[in-house]
């Protein structure tokens, strides 16, 4: 299996539409409350997105809602068809990303886990109050 070198990997691009799509809280139209589906045969049910806040609508619902966004405080009158390509806002090269350690953990995470494990082992080695009381009682009785 061929392994791509980091310099050969294409850069990641994140567009405004990617950000808006990730921030959407619902995939239901705010006008009719039905799911907005990406692949539809009926042109009226074509998914559109408010150009300002990124809320999803059916095209017919957008038009029936007065041709503007129904979200309180938005009221924007422009939309774009969901899934249309947009220009990149951010471009990241793989060489810009920090290299993962051999075991997949960061050194900070490894240090934190080791410290946590050390504390747990120390607590297991330390006798409990009940164990100390029982030992003290046995020492006081001294059967022999």
pLDDT tens-digit readout, 114-131: 899 888 888 778 877 888
Pairwise CA distance, residues 75 & 43, whole Å: 23
**Which residue did the predictor score with more confidence, 43 or 21?**
43
Task: Using the predicted structure, report yes or no on whether residue 1 has a pLDDT greater than 50.
Answer: no
Which has more confidence, 85 or 46?
Answer: 46
C-alpha torsion 130→136→137→140, nearest 10:
180
CATH number of the domain located at residue range(s) 12-92 in this protein: 3.30.40
- Cross-strand partners of 28: 35
List the domain boundaries for the chain: 12-92, 104-141
Residue 45 has pLDDT above 80, yes or no: yes
Highest mean pLDDT among 75-79, 100-104, 135-139: 75-79
Q: Which two tokens stand for residue 14?
A: 């994140």
């Amino acid at each position: 299996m061929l392994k791509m070198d980091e310099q050969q990997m294409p850069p990641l691009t994140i567009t405004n539409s990617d950000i808006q799509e990730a921030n959407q809280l619902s995939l239901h139209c705010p006008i009719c409350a039905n799911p907005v589906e990406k692949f539809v045969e009926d042109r009226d049910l074509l998914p559109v997105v408010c150009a300002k806040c990124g809320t999803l609508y059916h095209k017919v619902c957008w038009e029936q809602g007065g041709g503007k966004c129904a979200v309180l405080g938005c009221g924007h009158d422009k939309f774009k068809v969901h899934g249309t390509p947009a220009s990149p806002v951010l471009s990241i090269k793989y060489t810009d990303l920090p290299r993962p350690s051999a075991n997949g953990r960061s050194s900070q995470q490894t240090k934190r886990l080791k410290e946590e494990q050390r504390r747990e082992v120390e607590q297991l080695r330390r006798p409990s109050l009940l164990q100390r009381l029982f030992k003290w009682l046995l020492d006081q009785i001294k059967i022999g």
